[in-house]
Amino acid sequence: MNQPLLSVVMITYNHEDYIEEAINGVLLQDYDGKIELILANDNSPDNTDVIIQKVLQNHTGSQNIEIKYTKHQQNKGMMPNFLWALQQAQGDYIALCDGDDYWTDPLKIQKQVDFLEKNPEYSFTFHKVSGIGSENAENSIFKNIEEEKDYTLENLSEGNFIHTPSVVFRKNVNKLPDWLSFCPIGDYPLHMINSTFGKIKYFPETMAVYRVGSGIWSTTNLVHQVLNIIYTLKFLLEYFKNNKVVYHNLKKQHDNHYNSIVKNFEAKRSLELKTKDYRYLESITDFGSILKILKMKILKKVFPSK
């Protein structure tokens, strides 16, 4: 059987200490089909580009792996860079791996693509990962699942349990919703959208490493992390407003996070969001009430500094 083309989307910014390991994790893949690595460097000011150029020079050219590298001349920002890289992907299947994470199993891609090829009712797969780089790696925001089982959109709407470097999904849509470019979080909404196309398969095998404490998310303070989650959930609530179960679960997430802000972080920090984000939000039909809440609770600084 001819294996389909697989695209690996890898975004990187200031990953000079990690990017070579991330790329090598792709190059070690033992896959029967073709792999294209979409490597998008968001104009890193460190030596990330130098390291990548060295890897490219030493890459003698595997017959089935092509590296398509772009260094943007101006910084796009995490989400615009991620969405740009996704748009470049030509594969029937897409795998994700940020520039500070890496794969450890040479058969990872083969296992996940083979499963999706044989089971068309599934939209994507994910697997167990190891967490390194922080004393709190084992207590990070995501937890590994031990039991091998299937999951659905409804399960995922209760909270994100998927690590980015573990995902392989079908290219379900050619154009993602415009609002994604305004989200401070990209992977969870993408998983939610993909899960509308079929079931989710979990493999309890450890096939990648998720690095804690090095990426943009890990280095963001806890207050901003929670507020970014709330902000992202606003978009998802609007997107899934016609699905009662999913909407209920997302609303519960939102309220729990909001209550944690009020309870634990009130009077500790204020947050100002870019006005261009609000102008875009105002253009979305039926988003008025959500926007008013967002402006009232955040722009008017309900959480002022002491």
Say which residues have a Cβ less than 8 Å from residue 36's Cβ, sequence separation at least 6: 5, 6, 7, 8, 65, 66, 68, 89, 90, 91
- Note whether 8 and 38 are within 8 A (CB): yes
What type of residue sits at position 279?
A: R
d(CA 165, CA 96): 5
Over the stretch 87-143, which tens digit does the pLDDT of each residue have? 999 999 999 999 999 999 999 999 999 999 999 999 999 999 988 764 444 444 446
Say which residues have a Cβ less than 8 Å from residue 244's Cβ, sequence separation at least 6: none
Environment class of 199 (CB within 10 Å of its CB; exposed 0-12, middle 13-18, buried 19+): middle
Other C-beta atoms lying within 10 Å of the C-beta of residue 284: 16
Environment class of 139 (CB within 10 Å of its CB; exposed 0-12, middle 13-18, buried 19+): exposed
pLDDT reported for residue 290: 52
Q: Are strands 65-71 and 35-41 parallel, antiparallel or unpaired?
A: parallel
pLDDT reported for residue 295: 52
Query: How confident is the model over 221-234, as a mean pLDDT?
Result: 78
Is residue 35 very low, low, confident or very high in pLDDT (cuts 50, 70, 90)?
Answer: very high
Q: Are strands 6-12 and 35-41 parallel, antiparallel or unpaired?
A: parallel
d(CA 304, CA 269): 5
Over the stretch 156-202, which tens digit does the pLDDT of each residue have? 999 999 999 999 999 988 888 888 888 888 899 999 999 999 999 99
Over the stretch 232-275, which tens digit does the pLDDT of each residue have? 898 899 899 999 999 999 999 988 887 776 665 443 444 444 44
pLDDT reported for residue 175: 86
* pLDDT > 90 in the chain, percent: 58
pLDDT reported for residue 269: 44
- Note whether 38 and 85 are within 8 A (CB): yes
Query: How confident is the model over 66-73, as a mean pLDDT?
Result: 96
Say which residues have a Cβ less than 8 Å from residue 156's Cβ, sequence separation at least 6: 162, 191, 192, 195, 200
Is residue 227 very low, low, confident or very high in pLDDT (cuts 50, 70, 90)?
Answer: confident
d(CA 11, CA 8): 10
Instruction: Give the C-alpha distances (Å, rounded to integers) separating 195 from 109, 201, 252.
Output: 19, 10, 19
The residues spanned by each domain of the chain are 6-211, 222-299
More confident residue, 145 or 151: 151
Instruction: For domain 6-211, give the fold.
Output: Spore Coat Polysaccharide Biosynthesis Protein SpsA; Chain A (3.90.550)
DSSP secondary-structure letter at 5?
P
